[in-house]
Amino acid sequence: MSAFITLIGNLTKDPLLNNTQSGDVYTKFNLAVDRYGQKDKVDYFQVTAWKTIAENICKFTEKGSLVAITGTIHTKFETKEDGTKSYTTEVQVHNVKFLSKSKGGN
């Protein structure tokens, strides 16, 4: 079972559209989210979006854009060459709502 999460925050940089070797399009970006009840505290989430959602994020947002995303949390484990283990946690976007003016002010 996957854990669903909803986040409202600002993009920390302009999103870029990328392609996998098989031709699927995606974008990865960080989302800055104000920490609830703690003034001047921000958490940063790594976010990945695929296909049409990725295309729309790149088309309608830029650094600083406010968005609401709903997605699932995924953790990737990796063993490095020196034997140490690391992990990264990211949110895979299932739905996005654009909460500020789109790129270009439209």
Q: What is the pLDDT of residue 76?
A: 87
Query: How far is the C-alpha of 30 from the C-alpha of 10, rounded, in Å?
Result: 8
Mean pLDDT of 73-82: 89
The residue with greater pLDDT, 56 or 100, is: 56
pLDDT at 104: 62
4-105 placed in CATH 2.60.40.1260: no
What is the distance between the alpha carbons of residues 77 and 85, in angstroms, rounded to a whole number?
A: 7
| pLDDT reported for residue 45 | 95
Look at residue 72 and tell me whether its pLDDT is greater than 90: yes
pTM: 0.85
Check: CB of residue 14 under 8 Å from CB of residue 26: no
Alpha-helix runs per DSSP H in 1-106 = 51-60
pLDDT tens profile 5-62:
999 999 999 999 999 999 999 999 999 999 988 988 999 999 999 999 999 999 999 9
H-run or E-run covering 33: strand 25-34
Query: Do 69 and 99 contact (CB within 8 A), yes or no?
Result: no
Residues 91 and 50 sit within 8 Å (Cβ to Cβ)? no
